[in-house]
Amino acid sequence: MTTSEYADKIVGLIQKRPPEINSERLLYEVYVKLKVAEGLRAIQQGEVYSHEQVREDMWKVIHRVLH
C-alpha cells in the first residue's frame, strides 16, 4: 500500500469517526493502524526474524550482561 493510500485511509477514519470518540482516542487508533500496516509491510518484504533467531540473539545479550 502506498503512502497516499494510507493517507486516504486516515482521512476516512477521521471522517467516519463517531462523535463520542475524542481526538486522543482517534490519534491512538491511527497510530495502531499505522503500526499494523508497518508490520504487514515488513512481513511482505521479508524484514522479519524467526522465533529461533530472536531467542538466540536474546540469549547472547543476556549472557553478555551476566558475564
Query: What's the per-residue H, E or C state across 19-60?
Result: CCCCHHHHHHHHHHHHHHHHHHHHHHCCCCCCHHHHHHHHHH
Which residue is it, cell 538466540? 56
The x, y and z cell numbers of residue 12, run together, are 476516512
d(CA 11, CA 9): 5
Higher pLDDT, 64 or 7: 64
Per the confidence metrics, is the pTM higher than 0.75?
no
Q: Which residues contact 42 (CB under 8 A, 6 or more apart)?
A: 48
Query: Tens of pLDDT along 33-67?
Result: 889 888 999 999 999 999 999 999 999 999 999 98
